[in-house]
Amino acid sequence: MTGSAADIAHLHTAVAAAARRSRERGNHPFGAVLVGPEGSVLLEAENTVTTERDATGHAETNLIRLATPRFDGEYLGTCTFYTSTEPCAMCAGAIYWAAVGRVVFALGEEELLAMTGADPANPTLDLPCRTVFAAGRREVAVVGPLPADGAREVHAGFWHTQP
């Protein structure tokens, strides 16, 4: 499955707005955007792991926390979840349980791991989101990794063990 021009544009929002803003506020450089079936941005979220001292404060879980009180699962099933980086196992689980129908990401987990290395601030699980979703009984369409300007650059110099 390939991404559309709209997918790339929404990924740019996830990277340029949410991930950059997250980093500027002292958090890990990750961002996420929820887009409705008609193509409009419904919500944005950024990572808050550092500032909120919450290990679960990933951009994706923060976005799910914003979305589920506002929208029911039936509606979320018609939405697309855009994220600057492939959702980790925890975030993929949250997306699955919220019943979001489609996920599009820019930077793949393998590429992130190659960039972060053994940095203790990002103890990456080698578990692709497609594997997490495939373990469930509800289908979640996944598109990615897709090229998005700045997806890699927003991490430059952030991780202590970066090459």
Q: Which residues pair with 142 in a beta bridge?
A: 103
| Contact indicator for 13, 33 with CB cutoff of 8 Å | yes
3-state secondary structure at position 104: strand
Please give the positions annotated as active site: 60
Helices (H), the chain: 5-13, 20-24, 59-67, 73-76, 89-98, 109-116, 129-134
3-state secondary structure at position 88: coil
Chain center to CA of 101:
14
Cβ of 127: how many Cβ atoms within 10 Å? 14
| Contact indicator for 60, 87 with CB cutoff of 8 Å | yes
